[in-house]
Amino acid sequence: MNFINTYILIGFILIISINPFLSNPIFSQEKEKRSAYSFFNQGLNYSYQNKADLAYMSFIKALKIYEARQLKDSVAECNLKLFYIIDSQKNNSENPLPYLIKYKNYAEESNDTIRQIISNAYLASYYFLKDFKKSEKFYKKGLKQSLLINNELFQANFYTNLGALYNEYDTILDINNHKKAINIYHKLNMDGKLFSSYLNIAEHYRLKKSYKKAIEYLKKAETVKIEHYNKKLLKKLYERLALNYQSNKEYKLANNYFIKFDSIKELLNNSKQNTEISRIKEQYDNEKLKAENLISESKRKQNRNLFIAALSLLCFGGIIGLLTLKNSHKKRLLAEQQQELEQQKNLTLLKEQEINTINAMIDGQEKERIRIAEDLHDNIGSVLATLKLHFENLQLNREKKHFNQEELYEKTEKLIDETYLKVRNIAHAKNAGVLANKGLLTAIKLMAEKISDANKITIQVLDFGLNKRLDNNIEITVFRIIQELITNIIKHAEATEATVNIALYDQNLNIIVEDNGKGFVPSNNAGEKDGMGITSIQTRVNHLKGTFTIDSTPNKGTSIIINIPTL
């Protein structure tokens, strides 16, 4: 107890000694960071309450502190919020675009995919009513990035906005984008996004003069809980219900919703807010100049106070060192007791390791049996399928004079030799064929070249970002997956062309295998009875913690999309 009391006394003395430094620049910087965080959250709250002028003032204060501290992440977020606040106000004299450009530049410099997606979304929104081509370009670019990182929420948002864009510029286009978005929002239980999607579909039907259908979707939006949404969405809902009822000649209902629209419209008067935003901007520019002058003075005081604080801490460190020496004897006794316990644990671990070793041997034997079965199916099956194509080609073209039978015989003989070598390699436990020496991309291209030589199907391999070798297990499994997909195309698809797209982006391997064959309905062909087809591929992808998607339509070909993390 005396030892503990001594430590408490030293801690009390240390607090009293350091207290004078709490006002120095080091602690002031921490205080400013906390203040900036507080201003930022305050701006968010004002934004939710549609108090744009107060939100703008709070974000400007936060931005000033973050810029002085060179906290680039926080500066970027402030720039994004300021863009949104200014862009949302009508008749505002300040241009919001420079704030968004700063945010976008930082996202590209830091190679931040999420921020790049967000900047594309906001740029598309900015050009929505100004430039159809630019808006569509940024929406599609963001959607492509969202698919690459497999983010369903981002995908749904881009589907929604693309649908709204097409509503605005072309009423003939269908509503598939909106329906894709709604499916995802239902899956993620996102009522707010679902609300907006219903409004967008209703607008599509209104433009086509299908007023009853538009009212149906607006009523669906009205059933969504909206107490936490902003008043602008409510205003839009009431306005569109009133207009659709009026166009459908239901004047009483139209009048009811016009009354609701007028009551909420008064709450959204932005003229005072816009004036206040301009005034705050001027104040911010003046304060920024003052802050730059204070920084140099702050650094000088900071160096002096650091020296004093370091000297004080050195003295107290010596006192603590003396107390530590007195306590070392007790620690040695505890260490000896701990050593005895460790010896007992080691004996127990040795016994457990013996049991684990026996279990591992059994598991290894079972895995080896499975590997041999897969090698026979993937390696020999793929080559035999190609060999079958050669014989079919020979049978179909034997009556044609221009057909070079000798060349086909030579290719067929090579495939038979290759089959023999593969069987021999499996017998000698050689793994993955050409993968062991040449790598994944080379193996895929060689396979495609051999199959294309049969003149029954042309396979093209496109790659991006595969500048280095991947983990050997990943390369082997991915090769087997692509090999099985190509074999399925040859056996079942009746295709003449196939493409293998393989790309490495942000430590994520993306594979797309497409064909122009007869296609199928995925829900009815999700697996095969022998377990060596699509089900086998799905199992391998799951083992690599990846995702597997089938996109197929009868008579329109098939696309298989696979995403696999490489870390």
Of the listed ranges 386-400, 427-441, 476-490, the one predicted with least confidence:
427-441
Model confidence pLDDT, tens digit, residues 61-74: 999 999 998 999 99
Please check whether residue 488 lies inside any domain of the structure.
Answer: yes
| 324-336 average pLDDT score | 82
Please check whether residue 273 lies inside any domain of the structure.
Answer: no
pLDDT value at 526 more than 90: no
Q: Which helix (H) or strand (E) holds 459?
A: strand 458-464
- Cα distance between residue 126 and residue 100, in whole Å: 10
Helix, strand, coil percentages (3-state) for the chain, rounded to 5, are: 75, 5, 20
pLDDT value at 275 more than 70: no
Query: CATH code at 48?
Result: 1.25.40.10
Q: What is the pLDDT of residue 15?
A: 43
pLDDT value at 313 more than 50: yes
Those residues whose C-beta lies under 8 Å from the C-beta of residue 70, and which sit 6 or more positions away, are: none
pLDDT value at 392 more than 90: no
pTM as predicted: 0.39
Per-residue pLDDT band at 112 (split at 50, 70, 90): very high
| 461-476 average pLDDT score | 89
Q: What is the pLDDT of residue 316?
A: 76
559, 493 in Cβ contact below 8 A? no
Among residues of the chain, what percentage have pLDDT more than 70? 77
Strands (E), 324-451: none
- Cα distance between residue 436 and residue 241, in whole Å: 66
Please check whether residue 19 lies inside any domain of the structure.
Answer: no
Q: Pick from 94, 117, 150: which residue ends a domain? A: 150
pLDDT value at 21 more than 80: no
Quick one: how far is CA 362 from the chain centroid?
A: 40
Q: What counts of helices (H) and strands (E) characterise the chain?
A: 20, 5
Please check whether residue 159 lies inside any domain of the structure.
Answer: no
- Cα distance between residue 94 and residue 274, in whole Å: 9
Q: Pick from 123, 150, 177: which residue ends a domain? A: 150
Q: Pick from 150, 172, 188: which residue ends a domain? A: 150
If DSSP codes are grouped into helix, strand and coil, which group holds residue 556? Answer: coil
Query: CATH code at 500?
Result: 3.30.565.10
Give the sheet arrangement for strand 458-464, strand by strand: 458-464, 497-505, 508-515, 558-565, 547-552
Please check whether residue 26 lies inside any domain of the structure.
Answer: no
Q: What is the pLDDT of residue 400?
A: 63
Per-residue pLDDT band at 285 (split at 50, 70, 90): low
Q: What is the pLDDT of residue 532?
A: 52
What is the largest distance, in Å, between two alpha-carbon atoms of the chain? Answer: 107
Q: What is the pLDDT of residue 32?
A: 63
Average pLDDT, the chain: 79
- Residue 412: which domain range? 370-565
Which amino acid is located at 146 in the chain? S
Please check whether residue 306 lies inside any domain of the structure.
Answer: no
pLDDT value at 208 more than 90: no
Name the residue with higher pLDDT: 40 or 176: 40
Q: Report residue 428: phi and psi, to 5°.
A: -95, 15
566, 507 in Cβ contact below 8 A? yes
Q: What is the pLDDT of residue 211?
A: 92
Q: How many domains does the chain have?
A: 2
Which amino acid is located at 147 in the chain? L
Q: What is the pLDDT of residue 245?
A: 93
Alpha-carbon dihedral angle through residues 160, 165, 170, 174, given to the nearest 10 degrees: -10
Please check whether residue 464 lies inside any domain of the structure.
Answer: yes
Which amino acid is located at 214 in the chain? A
